[in-house]
Amino acid sequence: MKNLLVLGVTGSIAAYKAAELTSQLRQHGVEVRVMMTESATHLVAPQTFLTLSKSPVTVSLWDSPSWQPRHIELALETKVLLIAPATANILAKMAHGIADDSLSTFYLSHEGTVIVAPAMNPRMWRHPATQENVRILKERGVRFVGPAEGRVACGEAGVGRMSEVSEILSAALSAMSEE
């Protein structure tokens, strides 16, 4: 029975909001395993997610505690992969099947629902490369929550802000409750 949610956290300034998301998911009874990119660890410490999820956090592909690589072991038990925040970079890697770290490799191993909540500068979001990657991923069934319009951390306004945690939470909870 697949009952886990893997929360992928990537190197966006919105990564700190993933801590609140982890806490909210746990409070709603969801078993969360956090997988961070190396860039994300420059913005939020893995210890934060270890404490909030009460489970080991995966960063490197190479730090698996068991004989089976972590991305394969987790894929067998995971119902939903939620990536929040999702950088322009992870969307590009997902669209093109690049598997060069634990999160992107996990994405290829995972056969369940995938939800992404992009967060980036509005110019990065508008870039034709990003828009083409979004189109590819939507066509493949990846669910998008946002991004929203507003002011981003660098001070610019436009579409690129990560959606509110409450909105991402409800998309995740509804995917977890699907048959």
Ligand X SMILES: Cc1cc2nc3c(=O)[nH]c(=O)nc-3n(C[C@H](O)[C@H](O)[C@H](O)COP(=O)(O)O)c2cc1C
To ligand X, the closest distance from the beta carbon of 49 in angstroms equals 14
To ligand X, the closest distance from the beta carbon of 110 in angstroms equals 17
Pick between residue 12 and residue 48 the one whose CB is nearest to ligand X: 12
**Which residues form the catalytic set?**
154
- Binds ligand X (CB under 6 A): choice among 5, 6, 8, 10: 10
CA atoms of 105 and 74, how far apart (whole Å): 11
Note whether 118 and 144 are within 8 A (CB). Answer: yes
Which listed range, 27-35, 62-70, 72-80, 116-124, lies at the site for ligand X (CB under 6 A)?
116-124
Displacement of CA 124 from its chain's centroid (Å)? 18
Residue 119 makes contact with ligand X by CB under 6 A: yes
To ligand X, the closest distance from the beta carbon of 136 in angstroms equals 17
CA atoms of 36 and 10, how far apart (whole Å): 6
Structure tokens at 24: 């909210």
In the block, tokens 């990065």 appear at 124
Beta strand segments in the chain, E: 4-9, 31-36, 78-86, 113-118, 143-144, 148-151, 157-161
- Binds ligand X (CB under 6 A): choice among 22, 53, 89, 102: 89
Structure tokens at 163: 């959606």
Structure tokens at 76: 């067998």
Residue 113 makes contact with ligand X by CB under 6 A: no
Which listed range, 5-13, 76-84, 140-148, 165-173, lies at the site for ligand X (CB under 6 A)?
5-13
Residue 37 makes contact with ligand X by CB under 6 A: yes
> Residues 6 or more apart from 41 whose CB is under 8 A from it?
59
Q: How many residues bind ligand X (CB under 6 A)?
A: 15
Residues forming the site for ligand X (CB under 6 A): 10-14, 37, 39-40, 87-90, 119-120, 124
